[in-house]
Each structure stands twice: as C-alpha cells, then as structure tokens.
A and B are shown apart, each in its own frame.
Chain A
C-alpha cells in the first residue's frame, strides 16, 4: 500500500534541487520559470499580506474607492474593536488549552501505542492494530451525528472537552509512530534489556530520545489540526464562553458582516500564531506535510 509506504518519517531535502544542466534562458535574462512562479507566489501570499494591512485600516479607508492596499497610519481600532466587542481573549485561551491538551495527549498516547504495536508481543495485538487501521477509512462526517449524541449523553456538550476529546489520540498518529519505531535498529533496545531495564524503561530511556523527529512531526500535525478545527467545536459547543477562536471568529463574522477591520484583526489573531510558528520551523513543517497529508 502506497499510503503506508509514504508514511515513513524522513527528512525531506528541500534545499538542494536536482543537479542542474547548463543554463539556457534563451531571450530572457532570467530563467523562464520565474514567469510562472512570481505571479503564483504573489497570488498565494498577497491575500495574507492584505489581511494584515487591512486589520490596521479604519473602516473609512477600507470602504474608500478605489480600494487602498496600504493603510495611511497604524490604526489599531480593528484590534480594540475585536477584543472589546467579543470574548476573543477567552476564545484564544480556550484554543490554547485545547491545542495544548491535544498535542500533549497525542505525544504520550500515540508514542506508547505506536511502540506497543511495533515491538511488544501480546495477545490481541493484531486485532487491536487492525481495528485502528480500519478507522482510517471512516470519514469524519459519518461521525458528526453519533459523536454529538454521545457527547450529549456524556454531558460534555457545551464544554471545552468536546473540542479536545476528538484530538486525544488518532489512528494516524499511532500509525506514524509505529512506522518510525519499526525502522529503529533493535540492538539498542536489546542492549537496554540486557542492562536490566524494564520494557517501560527501554521505551522511556532509549526509544523516546531517538524518536524526537517523529514526535516533533506529530506535534506539528496535531497543533495544526486542533488549532484550526472547526467542525467539532461548532457542532458541540453553543456557549460563547467555551468557543474556540475559530468558532468565535465565524460567529463574529455572522454578526458583523461588513466591519472588515475588526474581522481582519480577528483573522490575524487566529492565524498569526501558526504562521509565525510555520516560518520558524518551516523545514520541519513541510517535511511533516510531505508524508502526512492530513488536514482537518
């Protein structure tokens, strides 16, 4: 299965393109590829730049004709408006809580289960692993209604728990960690066993320190998914106090259709943490997406 083959952790070398033949630019003083890439890069990046710039405009500036791109002054009315007219600080805090719990829980549970299914021998192992792999094929939309009903029976509807329970662990994460552990050389673990470590000791002291790249990948993927998740908190949480920033933003959008400065400020607040994180850890982030391909 290709999708299993693609799920191996490896460092993707994005810096060195294929060894190049002679440069032949023909009539142009630069490579013709720039003619394709430059406009595309602008199309992809400019809306985000515009989002940031617009968040610093006054409403009058935004509604002026022809439209302005650069604000005349650094106006923070959008931000004060967004934070003043909504429970935004609360929503941000909620999102941070949800993302933190999701990432920590993912790291612990997926690495434990991944190691168990990769290395340990016990009865029911094949059955358990088969069940986990089978769930990869179940689409989210099929789970929307029963999960909501289940949450309402368990009394977690309208609490923050409804936003992070779906992200406690995942078949994908377990699978990812298992693939990583399978590729580790066994000798180190055997040496640890000979030195008298328990199974958990081997896992904790030998295997986990080696698993940092896989754990980083898993953390990035979980952060992205839990921070940007819309469908679970949207269906299960109707109490404004427990909104995540994404749900808050969409309801805010519903009530202020045209107050663009405030909406853009909200957008910046909801997106910037991930964008800054992305710019700082870009290499790793892209390597993650290469073999995961999971979003939302």
Chain B
C-alpha cells in the first residue's frame, strides 16, 4: 500500500525569476567572501608573510654568498657542499644529538614519575606542584644567569653541596666534557614542569573503570601501572617525545646565556652555529644552508619517531 501525499500546487505568487535568483546568490556569495576574508585576512597574511614566505626565501638565500652589505653572489649548491665538509657542522650535530639523547628520555621519565607522584592523595601536593612548575616561567636569560651562579666552580651552591657530601668539586660549565651535561640539567630544571603537567592531565583522563577492572581481576598496584597506566599514556608519551625532540634539536637560548658555545666550542649546537655564522660572521647564505640542514635533520628524526610509534601501534598522529 502506498500513501499518496498531496502536494499543494505551487503558488505562482512565490515563484522567483531564476535569473534574479542566480544573481542574488552570486551577490550573497560575494558578501560572504568579503565578510569571511575580513575576519581571517590579516591573520592569514601575517602568518604566511612571517613563515611560509621567509621559509621559502631562506632557500634562495642558502644558494648565495651574501653579507647583506655587498650584493649577493649566486653560488649554486656550494654552501651545501661546504656544509657537508665542515667539521664544525658535524661537531654541532654531535653536540645537538648528545643533548637531545639525554634531554628527551630524561624529561619524559621525570615528567611521568613526578606526575604519578603528584596524582597521589598526599599532603602538600599543591606546594610540590607549584615548586616543580615555577621554573618553567623563568626566561632562558634569567635561567642562564642563575645557572652560572649555582654552578660557579669556586663558591657556587652545586660545588658547596658536593663539598658538604665529601665529594670533589667539579668545574661544571668550565669543562668541555661537563658543560653540555650541565646544560641538560638546566634544561630539565626549566622544562620538566611542562611534561609533568601534560602527564598529570593524561593520568586524569584514564577511565577509572579500567583500573578498577584490573584491580578486581587481582592485579596489584605495580601491575596496574605496568599494564594499564603506561599503555594508556602511550599516545601522550609519543606526542611529548616528538615535541621535546623538536625543542631539543633547536636548543639555542640556554647555550647563549650560559656558555656561548664554549668552552672550546664544546656546546655549539646547530642553531647556535647558525647564529654564529650568520649574525657574528655575516655569512648569511651559509647560515641559511645550515639551517636547512637542521630542518632536514629535524624532519628525519620526527618522521622516524612517528613511523616507529605507528609500527608499534600507538595512535598518536
């Protein structure tokens, strides 16, 4: 059985001339375009003008020999050839990767550990959280100066503490073998708070019923942590690891404010090298080439991490 729906005959009074309608539609679209772009126009232009455009321009600069004063000279791929054969670049790569390899795992480990501790119902949690997070708001300039004071070899508190514990005092930032490790410690001091907060939020997102189910099934607290909490945190861990890696590969501020690359160039990172080459030696073309090299390195490391996390079936990206 079919139901016949009566359709009222179209009233001629409401019929609109199709041509007029098309015209009105066009006008309305144009108005929408104007309104839309008046909302997003300035921002979009500024963002493109301050990143996509200069990033592309950097490539043209990287194929020139240019000190900004005399006219630029086209040198083709020569800057890139120089870069590959420049021992200082490879030293900088080594220092950068050394920093990254220490900083990223440590910041993730400490971040997770402290977040789990702060997630317990114990006294003074508010105080602990504030204390651990507050270095995050200190600028790199202030952190660098403060670190210079704390790690001062003669009367700094770091050596004072060692002496009180009966240990030999250390040269810290003045030793080529220790300086980068000290910078890792300083970077952790400033950045761990961020990881802690990310993990703290993630811990509170873990559904309580999974935890309870595991407890009912007879898991103890350590097993719950190992088989429920850590897997639940995996996507956040991947995200944080990628984020911290990108930050670590771009290390500049702390080096500038503590050692300025010394002693004996032992803390020259890639970005610091770009800064030195471009802004102190006025070799802008070569600096741009090295910054493209670093961009490539960052991409490779990041893509590898994303690929690896996908292979291990952690959905983060």
Contact = CB atoms under 8 A, between A and B. Distances in A.
A37 B68 contact: no
Interface in A154-170: 165-166, 168-170
Contact of B291 (A20, A66, A144): A144
A112 B40 CA distance: 6
A44 B134 contact: yes
A139 interface: yes
Size class of the contact patch on chain B: 35 or more
Nearest to B314: A2
B113 A36 contact: yes
Interface stretch (A71-79, A184-192, A211-219, A223-231): A223-231
Interface in A247-281: 247, 249-250, 253, 260, 263-264, 266-267, 270-271, 274-275, 278-279
Interface of A: 1-3, 6, 12-14, 17-20, 30-31, 33-34, 36-38, 40-45, 47-48, 50-51, 54, 62-67, 69, 109-110, 112-113, 115-117, 120-125, 128, 131-132, 134-135, 138-150, 152, 165-166, 168-171, 174, 199-200, 203, 224, 227-228, 230-231, 234-235, 246-247, 249-250, 253, 260, 263-264, 266-267, 270-271, 274-275, 278-279, 282, 285-286, 289-291, 293, 295-296
Contacts of B189: 43-44, 47
Contact of B43 (A112, A286, A296): A112
Interface string B296-317: 0010000000000000000111
B125 interface: yes
A3 B160 CA distance: 43
A199 B36 CA distance: 9
Given A33-B122, A139-B295, A289-B133, 4 more contacts: A31-B120, A120-B35, A142-B294, A145-B291
B233 interface: no
Contact of B119 (A18, A36, A50, A144): A18
Contact of B279 (A18, A30, A235): A235
A52 to B, nearest CB: 11
Nearest to A36: B117
Given A144-B278, A249-B142, A290-B198, A139 B117 contact: no
14 contacts: A20-B121, A41-B131, A44-B134, A47-B146, A116-B40, A123-B29, A125-B40, A143-B51, A149-B57, A247-B141, A253-B257, A267-B146, A285-B137, A290-B198
Dominant SS among interface residues on chain A: helix
B134 A275 contact: yes
B155 A109 contact: no
A40 B273 CA distance: 34
A263 B246 CA distance: 31
Nearest to B309: A2
Interface in B174-202: 189, 191-194, 197-198, 200-201
A283 B201 CA distance: 13
A194 to B, nearest CB: 17
Given A19-B208, A140-B250, A143-B50, A230 B58 contact: no
Contacts of B132: 40-41, 44-45
A18 B208 contact: yes
Interface string B35-64: 111011011101110111111011001000
User: Is chain B's binding surface mostly helix, strand, loop or mixed?
Assistant: helix
B208 A44 contact: no
B274 A144 contact: yes
Nearest to B116: A33
Interface of B: 29, 32-33, 35-37, 39-40, 42-44, 46-48, 50-55, 57-58, 61, 68, 113-114, 117-125, 127-142, 144-146, 148-150, 155-157, 160, 163, 189, 191-194, 197-198, 200-201, 203-204, 208, 211, 235-236, 238-240, 243, 246-247, 250, 252-253, 256-257, 270-271, 274-275, 278-279, 284, 287-288, 291-292, 294-295, 298, 315-317
Contacts of B191: 295
A63 B156 CA distance: 10
A291 to B, nearest CB: 8
A20 B227 CA distance: 19
**Top 5 A-B pairs ranked by shortest CB distance?**
A122-B36, A116-B39, A146-B54, A113-B43, A228-B139
A8 to B, nearest CB: 11
Contacts of B57: 146, 149-150
A132 B120 contact: no
A117 B117 contact: no
Given A44-B189, A48-B135, A246 B35 contact: no
B317 A2 contact: yes
Contacts of B298: 139
Contacts of B135: 44, 47-48
Nearest to B238: A2
Contacts of A54: 149
A145 B139 contact: no
